[in-house]
With several copies, the nearest count.
Chain A
């Protein structure tokens, strides 16, 4: 089960997630993000994971897919508020080598935007 909150400010899509991100929600996550990116001409994506307690390789794949899409046009994906276990998984996956990691959304906007 996951909850998802979307907001657009200027050229950035903010996505705040809550719950456990695994195969059970991967399709929903992919479809929601794609749908929003298709409808809105944003360049950057900020994913707030501060209320995400679990992430699996399926959902990391969904995030990487969105990264590839935005990076093609020079956009960035930033990860915000990673809990220790989620951080470890993101690090092991190599995602932290290509995406910025920030403590707060403000920091992500200030440093990445």
Chain B
């Protein structure tokens, strides 16, 4: 898998950065032949993962660091969102639809990520924080079809 471009970002765990992160990642990923809809889906996945790092990982403390890495390959994009926060005790449970450790929340973040991305992998430990790795592949047929509108 040849890497065609790579971006590494890190920013403070403040809620305003959720909007920044999705805009920045979509702008970077738009260098590949993604459709508008693909980019919209990437935005959702990045947004939810970064929100989780802030809300759950750092429990809303604004002094944590969120790291986002985007690797563009000819086949698609790998997006990694990492925090050094409190980690997930039971990753399998966390991935279940409607599961949330916060009664005010809906447990939909990972549901959206799984619906919109082609692969999701979550590494986490109570000591070392959480790393969410997501892959969005380019749908060659769709990209070719959308070329007509260029």
Binding site for B on A (CB under 8 A): 1, 3, 20, 22-24, 26-27, 54, 56-58, 60-61, 64-65, 85, 89, 92-93
Interface membership of B104, Cβ < 8 A: yes
20 contacts between A and B (CB under 8 A): A3-B150, A20-B19, A22-B15, A22-B47, A23-B15, A23-B18, A23-B47, A23-B51, A24-B15, A24-B19, A58-B55, A60-B106, A61-B105, A61-B106, A64-B106, A89-B44, A89-B112, A92-B111, A92-B112, A92-B115
Range, interface on chain B = 20 to 34
Please tell me which one of the listed residues A22, A57, A65 contacts residue B19 in the complex, with CB atoms under 8 A apart. A22
In the bound assembly, the distance between CA atoms of A76 and B109 in angstroms comes to 26
- Is B40 part of the binding interface, using a Cβ–Cβ cutoff of 8 Å? yes
B55 and A23 contact, CB distance less than 8 A: yes
Asked if B90 is at the interface of the complex by the 8 Å CB criterion, the answer is no
- Nearest-CB distance from A57 to chain B (Å)? 4
Q: Does B136 contact A (CB under 8 A)?
A: no
Task: Please report the C-alpha to C-alpha distance between residue A58 and residue B127 in the assembled complex, in whole angstroms.
Answer: 26
B interface residues with partner A (beta carbon < 8 Å): 15-19, 40, 43-44, 47-48, 51, 54-55, 104-106, 108-109, 111-112, 115, 150
**A interface: dominant SS:** helix
Question: In the complex, A56→B52 CA distance in Å?
Answer: 11
> In chain B, what residue has the closest Cβ to A85?
B40
